[in-house]
Amino acid sequence: MEYHLENIDNIEDYKKYRAKLSKKKTDWGEEVKQIKDDLGYKTNKDFADRCGVTSQTVGNWLRKKTVPSSRDVLIRIGMLAGYDVVRMNGFLEKYGFGSLYSKNVSDAVYIFVLENSEKFPDKNYQDCQKIIDNINFKKDRFKDEKTISKPTEEITEGIKNVSDFPELIEFINSNAAAFKSRYYKFYEYMQNFMNQNIISDGKKDTIHKLVEQCGWPRSFQKIAYGIQNKDWIPDRWKLISLCLRLNMELDEVNSALILAKMKDLSEKSLLDSAIIFVLIDASLNDEIHKDGSDVLCIKMLEIMDNFDDMDDIDEIKKDLLKKCNHIWR
């Protein structure tokens, strides 16, 4: 895959490139203001409460200072604005996020609520989370999972035929294998990179050994074991952070995202462009080695210290830190 960023090899040139992305902040600020005004919110606080963010964050949006780093924030706003599935997908794609995918459990719930807005006009993002919390993929549902998986089109049509929320939960639970099957190749792919990053010392190579040697924080220890046990549902930024910890090249990161049914890195995204720049720079300088090192995380932290144009930048940076006081088992 070819990127316009491929010829940028220093931070000053990247800053100039990033400045060209400022139109995204302008577009976002103007669109949010229009949504806020259309919905009749008089204060930033009232609107922020419904969006699940702070008043300061909304103020930053309206001043065209930052853009969201979370896909869920856009889903909250789209639901608040009364978007249907088509408009929601356009909204997500416009700001660099993947469209709703019916084989994703959370997205399946969002799709159902959006497609039945007239039937359930009061249902919102918070209600969706309650429904998602009631979905439980029991282990015994997966005995024959590879043989009973269904194509995406069949799941999409099935959601359209569901009439209420209990029926939706039952539909998702009864098709658990179909939802989980989309990650088969992803788990195998990530397991391979985890194995490559284990520093062999003559003893048995295990995931426990990897997280212990690399000093991974608790949240990433859980993710590593979740991949090993084939029960981690990928989150986009967590996955990217993991890819950096596993010293992946740019094409390898994009492959991981695609296997997780997510949008690959976009040079038009403020966050993604920084990741692309770091990966290209590290590759050009022969700094990427499958040795459990944290070179990419350090380089990413250094780049992010130069910018304050994304929401929750401090939270994003936390996932790149190397902290490990105890090993999660």
Average pLDDT score over residue span 269-279? 91
Residues 21-49 have pLDDT tens digits of 777 778 899 999 999 999 999 999 999 99
What 3-state class would DSSP assign to 268?
A: coil
Structure-token match 């084939």, residue found: 230
Q: For residues 124 and 120, give the distance between their C-alpha atoms in angstroms, rounded to a whole number.
A: 9
Q: For residues 265 and 40, give the distance between their C-alpha atoms in angstroms, rounded to a whole number.
A: 35
Q: What percentage of the chain carries pLDDT values higher than 90?
A: 45
Weakest mean pLDDT among 25-29, 94-98, 142-146, 161-165: 142-146
Q: Which residues contact 141 (CB under 8 A, 6 or more apart)?
A: 173, 176, 177
**73: nearest Cα among 314, 318, 311:** 311
Tell me the sheet residues that pair with 67: 310
Per-residue DSSP letter, 265 = P
Q: For residues 63 and 72, give the distance between their C-alpha atoms in angstroms, rounded to a whole number.
A: 21
Structure confidence at residue 205 as a pLDDT band (50, 70, 90): low
| Both tokens assigned to 52 | 């699940």
Question: Which has more confidence, 246 or 182?
Answer: 246
Structure-token match 């990741």, residue found: 275
- Does the pLDDT value for residue 328 go beyond 60? no
Question: Which has more confidence, 82 or 123?
Answer: 82
Average pLDDT score over residue span 279-291? 94
Q: For residues 285 and 218, give the distance between their C-alpha atoms in angstroms, rounded to a whole number.
A: 31
| Both tokens assigned to 118 | 């007239």
Structure confidence at residue 70 as a pLDDT band (50, 70, 90): confident
Structure-token match 């088969």, residue found: 184
Q: Identify the pLDDT of residue 203.
A: 61
| Both tokens assigned to 212 | 């212990």
Structure-token match 């669109």, residue found: 31
Per-residue DSSP letter, 5 = G
Q: Identify the pLDDT of residue 26.
A: 83
Residue spans of the domains in the chain: they are: 105-181, 184-318
> Under a CB-based contact definition with an 8 Å cutoff, are residues 80 and 51 in contact?
yes
Exposure string for 184-222, b = 16+ CB within 10 A, e = fewer: eebbebbeebbeebbeeeeeeeebbbbbeebbbbeebbe
Q: For residues 145 and 133, give the distance between their C-alpha atoms in angstroms, rounded to a whole number.
A: 22
Return the amino acid letter for 124. N
Q: Identify the pLDDT of residue 327.
A: 36
Q: For residues 211 and 220, give the distance between their C-alpha atoms in angstroms, rounded to a whole number.
A: 8
> Under a CB-based contact definition with an 8 Å cutoff, are residues 103 and 182 in contact?
yes
- Does the pLDDT value for residue 326 go beyond 60? no
Structure-token match 């939270």, residue found: 315
- Does the pLDDT value for residue 112 go beyond 50? yes
Residues 300-321 have pLDDT tens digits of 999 988 888 888 788 888 889 8
- Does the pLDDT value for residue 162 go beyond 60? yes
Average pLDDT score over residue span 158-186? 87
> Under a CB-based contact definition with an 8 Å cutoff, are residues 32 and 38 in contact?
no
Return the amino acid letter for 185. K
Q: Identify the pLDDT of residue 137.
A: 64
Judged on CB neighbours under 10 Å (0-12, 13-18, 19+), 43 is exposed
Residues 292-301 have pLDDT tens digits of 999 999 999 9
CA dihedral 170, 151, 123, 165 (to 10 degrees): -10
| Both tokens assigned to 249 | 């090249």
Average pLDDT score over residue span 156-180? 88
- Does the pLDDT value for residue 281 go beyond 70? yes
| Both tokens assigned to 214 | 């690399």
Question: Which has more confidence, 234 or 280?
Answer: 280
